[in-house]
């Protein structure tokens, strides 16, 4: 099979949602349906010690939440599908944002009872900003929730996107009978084996007790209204992220998954063109190998103290043992160890193509955002990945001074992963951690203890407004004060930590020549 055919088989998407909407459960059931795993261990199965395949980290298993992005691949209907299960918790938005830079489409999971929630909206806006095609799965129809039209209206008005229901629910909660498949006019019953066929007049071809059911009559009337008055199907609008195909189902019951996958592989884009920092573009089917590192994860297997760099292949073909140049340093090296993922299970990969996500074993060479390319390809770098401006800060030190080596190694690796942001005071080099939310500090403390055998002392210094400086050479010692504390970030760039908005305004009024800026 030639390069273009292999690349056209790739479909790479991220699953996004608010916590508890069922994102990780959906990921799990997609893997189960795709034959990638034999048994799904849901995040609710704590008593049986069965945890979601994608929640490999100990803290995730204990809390039943996802706080890091996981990558998994499976085959379906002749396609190679790469799923990235993102953190639902808002404190880990930065990891999710970077992950969204590595996919070609997104699946938005919505709880039928809760509708659009804050984190869903936040992540959706990132998808719209990048023009990422979005597929919507409305989950938990086996529980009582909002009416289907209310949910569609909420999606359209809140997210400003058109909807096209590919399936339609018959009842919900205790009276949930199943879903109408719009494409082939069949009804997939929730509790029965055989599918039912609808006629052109929206009647069942064979007599069935459900015909007398009020929920069925209501669903058929709604379905007729959707067909007559709903948005038109438009493949181009799906591709630009202006229309979202909508599916109803229950991830926990593996119901509605088949309908989703069938449609997804038909309409989701193949690997897309990527921009470079110099405004160039890289086409996936170009022969030269190119990729970028969007995530680094240490200690996926604590026994081996491993460290993996997750790379999205953007063009060409990766072959194990090939030479690759790291654009940031210009250094060429042979890539001999690479893996494909099944959450915490990996296997050596000999070949991979544009659209695939692979893991490179890393001894500290790579950084998030790094570009790799064939030695004979022109020198370039992909667009920078987003970095958030933290709002919460803590001083951190090792409880046992004899463990300073472990302490600094742990900090270095977790900072490189993007788990936490690192700063230090200018004169004493006191480590200061920055985070978007409190949970990041808790995960940092937990991982330092469990993975680096180091207890830490965390001293809150409160909420601060961090601002970087364009013209660092104009900074003087007189500008450093408790209300405008000058520190260094991990790249030794100067950063002001302002006490509050008033202190920020006071500083800009007093020193108008200093040009400040923030990250995302």
Residues marked as binding? 17-24, 85-89, 139-142
Binding-site positions for GTP read 17-24, 85-89, 139-142
Q: What CA–CA distance (Å, rounded) separates 80 from 95?
A: 24
Closest by CA position to 360, among listed 288, 417, 420, 312: 312
In 112-165, at which residue ranges do the beta strands (DSSP E only) sit?
134-139, 162-165
Return the structure tokens found at 171.
Answer: 């009842």
Backbone φ, ψ for residue 64 (5° rounding): 70, 35
Pairing relationship of beta strands 323-326 and 317-319 according to DSSP bridges: unpaired
| 3-state SS class at 245 | strand
Q: Is 447 left (phi over 0), alpha (psi -120 to 50) or beta?
A: alpha
Q: Cα dist. 277→371, 379, 458 in Å? A: 11, 11, 38
Q: What CA–CA distance (Å, rounded) separates 16 from 132?
A: 12
**Which residue(s) pair with 181 in the sheet?**
167, 186
Q: What CA–CA distance (Å, rounded) separates 218 from 290?
A: 53
Q: What CA–CA distance (Å, rounded) separates 314 from 292?
A: 8
Backbone φ, ψ for residue 439 (5° rounding): -60, -30
Instruction: Indicate the helix (H) or strand (E) that contains 178.
Output: strand 178-181
Closest by CA position to 372, among listed 348, 338, 409, 404: 338
Q: What CA–CA distance (Å, rounded) separates 396 from 407?
A: 10
Return the structure tokens found at 168.
Answer: 């339609």
Which residue bears the tokens 């085959």?
Answer: 75
Closest by CA position to 13, among listed 264, 343, 251: 264
Say how many CA atoms lie within 13 Å of 294 toward its Cβ: 29
Return the structure tokens found at 56.
Answer: 């490999």
């Amino acid at each position: 099979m030639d390069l273009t055919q292999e690349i056209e088989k790739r479909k790479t998407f991220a699953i996004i949602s608010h916590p508890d909407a069922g994102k990780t459960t959906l990921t799990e059931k997609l893997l189960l349906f795709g034959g990638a795993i034999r048994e799904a261990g849901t995040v609710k199965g704590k008593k049986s010690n069965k945890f979601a395949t994608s929640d490999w980290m100990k803290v995730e298993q204990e809390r039943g939440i996802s706080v890091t992005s996981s990558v998994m691949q499976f085959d379906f209907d002749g396609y190679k599908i790469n799923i990235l299960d993102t953190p639902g918790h808002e404190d880990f938005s930065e990891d999710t944002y970077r992950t969204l830079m590595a996919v070609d489409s997104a699946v938005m999971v919505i709880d039928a009872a809760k509708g659009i929630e804050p984190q869903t909206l936040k992540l959706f806006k990132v998808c719209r900003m990048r023009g990422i095609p979005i597929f919507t799965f409305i989950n938990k129809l086996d529980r009582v929730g909002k009416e289907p039209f209310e949910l569609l209206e909420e999606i359209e008005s809140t997210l400003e996107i058109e909807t096209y229901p590919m399936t339609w629910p018959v009842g919900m909660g205790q009276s949930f009978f199943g879903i109408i498949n719009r494409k082939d006019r069949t009804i997939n019953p929730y509790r029965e084996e055989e599918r039912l066929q609808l006629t052109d007049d929206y009647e069942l071809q064979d007599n069935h007790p459900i015909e007398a059911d009020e929920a069925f009559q209501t669903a058929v009337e709604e379905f007729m209204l959707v067909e007559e008055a709903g948005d038109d199907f438009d493949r181009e609008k799906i591709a630009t992220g202006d229309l979202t195909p909508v599916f109803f189902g229950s991830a926990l019951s593996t119901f509605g998954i088949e309908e989703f996958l069938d449609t997804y592989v038909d309409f989701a884009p193949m690997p897309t063109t990527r921009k470079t920092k110099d405004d160039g573009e890289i086409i996936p089917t170009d022969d030269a190998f190119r990729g970028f590192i969007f995530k680094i994860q240490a200690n996926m297997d604590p026994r081996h103290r491993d460290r993996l760099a997750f790379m999205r292949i953007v063009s060409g073909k990766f072959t194990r043992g090939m030479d690759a140049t790291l654009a940031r340093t210009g250094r060429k090296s042979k890539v001999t160890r690479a893996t494909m993922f099944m959450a915490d299970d990996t296997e050596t990969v000999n070949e991979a193509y544009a659209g695939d996500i692979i893991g490179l074993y890393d001894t500290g060479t790579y950084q998030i955002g790094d570009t790799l390319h064939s030695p004979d390809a022109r020198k370039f770098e992909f667009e920078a990945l987003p970095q958030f401006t933290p709002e919460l800060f803590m001083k951190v030190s090792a409880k046992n001074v004899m463990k300073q080596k472990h302490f600094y190694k742990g900090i270095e690796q977790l900072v490189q992963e993007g788990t936490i942001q690192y700063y230090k005071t200018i004169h004493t080099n006191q480590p200061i951690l920055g985070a978007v939310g409190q949970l990041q500090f808790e995960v940092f403390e937990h991982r330092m203890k469990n993975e680096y055998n180091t207890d830490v002392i965390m001293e809150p210094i409160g909420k601060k407004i961090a601002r970087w400086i364009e013209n660092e050479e104009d900074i003087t010692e007189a500008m450093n004060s408790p209300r405008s504390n000058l520190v260094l970030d991990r790249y030794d760039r100067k950063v002001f930590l302002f006490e509050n908005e008033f202190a920020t305004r006071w500083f800009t009024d007093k020193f108008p020549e200093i040009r400040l800026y923030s990250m995302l």
